[in-house]
Structure 1
Amino acid sequence: MHVDEWLQTIPSVWVYVLVGAIIGLESLGIPLPGEIVLVSAALLSSRGVVDPMVLGLCASGGAIVGDSIGYLIGRKGGRPLFDRLGRRFPKHFGPAHIAKAEQVFNRHGMWAVFFGRFVALLRILAGPLAGALHMPYWRFLVANVLGGIAWAGGTTAAVYYLGVVADKWLKGFSWVGLVIALLFGLGSTMWLKRRAAKAAREEEPVPETATAA
């Protein structure tokens, strides 16, 4: 059963709660498929199953609250927290992942929190890492709120309108809206990842032999 088919079996009120909870837990630092659930629920909103406005508000709220809790956890746990997580979840919190995310944060600060919402790895690490690096909370909160609204609200709106267009012009093929949205999201993610990788390379120290030469 696909995610959207599964969501259709749940009352609309619980769809809002479920989407907000999964996105909140993902933002808190737990590896969950928040983006897949949001896109699937937004596609259902284009079919009239749920209200897109309420969905966008719940998704944005879950993202903002989850990131804020993650910030507090990171602030209290510090780097030892990531060492423990790296041992338990090496695929998501391994030393290489943490080092790359930290380089992006040190270079871009608030922008890393904002744009991190659109990148799977940074979406999980943004809150805890910002807290562990002692980013001032007011700066984190501004980037967190703007990023959460832009990502959750923007994704909901984009998929909703794409789904409406697909239903209108391609009856029986509303999945096209989901495919287009996923391709757009994948393209945006790859572009942001390349930017993040370039920023990380720029932060790498120059070898002493090269400097001497």
Structure 2
Amino acid sequence: MALIEPYLRHYGVAALFVIVYLESLGAPLPGESAVIGASLLASGGQLPIEGVFLAVFIGAVLGDNTGYAIGRYGGRSLVERYGRYIGFTHQRREWIEGLYDKHGTAVVVGARFVVILRQLNGIVAGMMAMAWRPFLLANIAGALLWTSVWTAAPFVFGDFFAAHFHDLMK
């Protein structure tokens, strides 16, 4: 949080959008921490909570959709060519394809709440040739739930945490 806070204070919701977008696209960035930090800043009146919510939601949806396009139009050939070097065997690919065929929307929604899956969600859905419309709807639903949880809870309970855990937040 200490690394992210100066960017949030200086660039506001624009920095938050970029962090969440890039994390949703697949970059190993602390998106969830940035959302919590921005929500806590909003609870203190330093950022507009509406702007925080919109930046997070739009960044998450656009990032996952960009990752989906990358996976759909280039990821599969890369995995078929180099996947064996990272343990992505033909059997593993078939298992993941079956998972996306049967439970793709649930996987996309649920992956939003799991750190590494959140980063790879769009790319893998695209590689597995999940249909775009169900992906988009599940992506919107997952992003809406995730955004609501991680913006509302810190915003509503920010004063409580500040009062009771002030020393930990330094």
- State the TM-score, normalized to the length of structure 1: 0.67
**Residues in 1 aligned to 2:33 and 2:143: alpha-carbon distance in whole angstroms:** 16
Kept in 2, the 8 Å contact 1:163–1:174? The answer is: no
1:120-159 alignment, distance < 5 Å: 120-159=115-154
The percent identity for this pair of structures is 36
Ranges in structure 1 where 5+ consecutive residues have no aligned partner: 179-213
Q: In the alignment, which of 8, 12, 15 is matched to residue 15 of structure 1?
A: 12
Secondary structure (helix, strand or coil) at the match of 2:27 reads coil
User: Residue 2 of structure 2 corresponds to which residue in structure 1?
Assistant: 2
> What CA deviation, in whole Å up to 9, does each residue of 1:16-74 have, x standing for no partner?
01111111111112221111111111111111110112101110000000111111111
The count of aligned residue pairs is: 166
**Could you tell me how far 1:86 is from its partner in structure 2?**
6.6
Q: In the alignment, which of 64, 69, 72 is matched to residue 72 of structure 1?
A: 69
Kept in 2, the 8 Å contact 1:78–1:133? The answer is: no
- State the TM-score, normalized to the length of structure 2: 0.82
Secondary structure (helix, strand or coil) at the match of 1:80 reads helix
Secondary structure (helix, strand or coil) at the match of 1:54 reads helix
User: Residue 62 of structure 1 corresponds to which residue in structure 2?
Assistant: 59
Q: In the alignment, which of 87, 90, 105 is matched to residue 95 of structure 1?
A: 87
**Residues in 1 aligned to 2:167 and 2:146: alpha-carbon distance in whole angstroms:** 21
Ranges in structure 2 where 5+ consecutive residues have no aligned partner: none
User: Structure 1 residues 160 and 9, CA, compared in 2 at 3 Å: closer, same or farther?
Assistant: closer
Q: Report 1 or 2 for greater relative contact order, CA contacts < 8 Å, sequence distance ≥ 6.
A: 2
User: Structure 1 residues 135 and 43, CA, compared in 2 at 3 Å: closer, same or farther?
Assistant: same
User: Structure 1 residues 72 and 158, CA, compared in 2 at 3 Å: closer, same or farther?
Assistant: same
Q: In the alignment, which of 128, 138, 155 is matched to residue 160 of structure 1?
A: 155
Q: In the alignment, which of 30, 33, 36 is matched to residue 30 of structure 2?
A: 33
User: Structure 1 residues 30 and 62, CA, compared in 2 at 3 Å: closer, same or farther?
Assistant: same
User: Structure 1 residues 82 and 53, CA, compared in 2 at 3 Å: closer, same or farther?
Assistant: farther
Secondary structure (helix, strand or coil) at the match of 1:3 reads coil
